[in-house]
């Protein structure tokens, strides 16, 4: 894809696809990750491939919750790692938090590769190796977590999440922030904060909001308290419906 000119109207989308494809070749992304990326891209079309107002509100709420957290953790899968590695490192630095690899199609070798890849891009001491089945109610590999990371976290950011783990983490009493382009998914409906945005826009936006809110606990508390996840999802779907009517 290196011969695609920047003037191509689909340049960003094509480069993003190429990252995921290369991730599969290098063993960082599972084959199923290609399908998941395509599904998300379809929803991004509905949003106009931009950050809509409800998503911007959710990104600010996400930052507020992460700043208020005692032990915030960024949970990263293969797609997220290859799409925003530098951006995750910047968010980790801004929050001084932990990063943990968590995979559905898990092998220890893939966890090691992802941890090394993230650390090469600036993340510090990435967790995930040797994680044990510690999340109640999950019988698959995403039920594994480290004690110092996801298991003991009070706020978890989980981009590109699956719905059952999101609900399981909520059942543990955790605040769960997700990035999910599908506002109808189980994940979006069960999350404390659901950001309906492309992860390549969402992670840098959350970092900017962290920098803007840092040091103002009262503002963080106001933003977190004012956010209504159900209302935000309704406004997201209203935006999509209005855009489709306008296009028709």
Q: What is the structure's pLDDT at 161? A: 65
Q: What is the structure's pLDDT at 202? A: 97
**Cα separation, 180 vs 163, whole angstroms:** 10
Residue pLDDT tens, the chain, 248 long: 567 777 776 767 777 788 878 877 887 887 676 777 767 788 999 999 999 999 999 999 999 999 999 999 999 998 899 999 999 999 999 999 999 999 888 889 999 999 999 999 999 999 999 888 889 888 787 789 999 999 999 999 998 766 688 999 999 999 999 999 999 999 999 999 999 999 999 999 999 999 999 999 999 999 999 999 999 999 999 999 999 999 87
Three-class SS state of 155: strand
Q: What is the structure's pLDDT at 41? A: 87
- Which residues does 97 contact at the CB level (< 8 Å), separation at least 6? 66, 69, 71, 72, 73, 74, 91
Q: What is the structure's pLDDT at 248? A: 78
CB-CB contact of 228 with 57 (8 Å) = no
Q: How many CB atoms lie within 10 A of CB 175?
A: 21
- Which residues does 207 contact at the CB level (< 8 Å), separation at least 6? 63, 87, 90, 91, 94
Q: Is residue 228 part of a domain?
A: yes
Q: Is residue 192 part of a domain?
A: yes
Q: Is residue 38 part of a domain?
A: no
Q: How many CB atoms lie within 10 A of CB 43?
A: 17
Strand 132-133 versus strand 144-145 pairing type: antiparallel
Q: What is the structure's pLDDT at 188? A: 95
Q: How many CB atoms lie within 10 A of CB 10?
A: 11
Q: Is residue 43 part of a domain?
A: no
Q: How many domains does the chain have?
A: 1
Q: Is residue 40 part of a domain?
A: no
**Residue 82 host element (H or E):** helix 78-83
Q: Is residue 29 part of a domain?
A: no
For residue 208, the enclosing domain spans: 53-247
Q: Is residue 2 part of a domain?
A: no
- Which residues does 123 contact at the CB level (< 8 Å), separation at least 6? 85, 88, 89, 92, 99
Backbone torsion region of residue 135, taken as left when φ is above 0, otherwise alpha when ψ lies between -120 and 50, otherwise beta: beta
- Supply the CATH number for residue 232's domain: 3.40.50.12640
Task: Name the strands in the sheet holding 98-101, side by side, starting at the edge strand that comes first in the sequence.
Answer: 98-101, 72-76, 155-159, 175-179, 193-195
Q: Is residue 13 part of a domain?
A: no
- Picking from 92, 96, 83, 91, the residue whose alpha carbon sits closest to that of residue 33 is 83
Q: What is the structure's pLDDT at 60? A: 98
Q: What is the structure's pLDDT at 25? A: 85
């Amino acid at each position: 894809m290196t011969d695609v000119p920047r003037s191509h109207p689909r340049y960003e989308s094509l480069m993003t696809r190429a990252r995921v494809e290369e991730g599969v070749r290098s063993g960082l992304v599972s084959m199923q990750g290609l399908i998941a990326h395509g599904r998300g891209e379809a929803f991004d079309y509905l949003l106009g491939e931009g950050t809509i107002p409800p998503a911007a509100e959710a990104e600010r709420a996400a930052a507020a919750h992460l700043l208020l957290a005692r032990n915030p953790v960024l949970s990263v899968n293969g797609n997220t790692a290859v799409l925003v590695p530098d951006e995750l490192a910047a968010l980790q630095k801004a929050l001084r938090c932990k990063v943990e690899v968590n995979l559905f199609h898990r092998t220890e070798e893939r966890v090691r590769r992802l941890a090394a890849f993230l650390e090469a891009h600036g993340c510090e001491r990435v967790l995930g190796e040797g994680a044990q089945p510690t999340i109640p109610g999950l019988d698959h590999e995403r039920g594994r977590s480290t004690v110092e990371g996801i298991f003991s976290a009070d706020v978890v950011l989980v981009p590109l999440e699956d719905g059952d783990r999101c609900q399981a983490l909520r059942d543990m009493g955790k605040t769960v922030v997700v990035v999910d382009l599908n506002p109808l998914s189980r994940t979006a409906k069960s999350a404390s904060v659901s950001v309906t945005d492309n992860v390549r826009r969402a992670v840098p936006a959350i970092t900017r909001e962290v920098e803007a809110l840092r040091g103002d606990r009262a503002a963080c508390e106001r933003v977190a308290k004012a956010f209504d996840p159900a209302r935000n999802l309704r406004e997201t779907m209203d935006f999509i419906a209005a855009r489709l009517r306008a296009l028709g």
